Amino acid sequence: MEPAEQAEASASAHEDFIPGPVAAAILACGIGSAVFGAAVVASDASPAVKAAFTLHEGVGPLSGKTVVGSLAYLASWGILHRILRRRTVRTRTALVATAALVGVGLLLTFPPIFQIWAVH
């Protein structure tokens, strides 16, 4: 095998994997998104949660929802980084899981979805 072919074979063998800390950051984005979506549902479903999420009167419960989602992102990033720091993760696995989590978070922020649980 020529050196160019070896380099190409080596590169393609590593293309499918990303370092664990990178996967942790990517997955944490999805987790933060899903938690934000869950916070939207919780806020609409419970007046007590809505009041608790109102950290600033001018912003309303959105202030608490974003804080909760951001804290979930940061906490999950730290935890996943610690777990995955010495590993490699399949790129496709990390991206599919993140896309699914972001999709769930996004769906939960649409009124036809989160109003299913709304208190009327």
Give the pLDDT confidence of 19-41 residue by residue, as tens digits: 999 999 999 999 999 999 999 99
Q: Average pLDDT per run of 10 along the chain, which is 120 residues long?
A: 62 77 98 97 94 95 97 98 97 97 96 84
Whole-structure pTM value:
0.84
Split into its structural domains, the chain has a count of 1
Find tokens 């972001």 and name the residue.
Answer: 102
CA–CA gap between residue 102 and residue 110 (Å, rounded): 13
pLDDT of residue 119: 78
Pairing of strands 88-90, 17-19: antiparallel
Give the Cα separation of 24 and 7 in Å (integer): 28
Tokens of 22: 């990178």
* Structural domain span for residue 73: 3-117
Three-class secondary structure of residue 17 per DSSP: strand
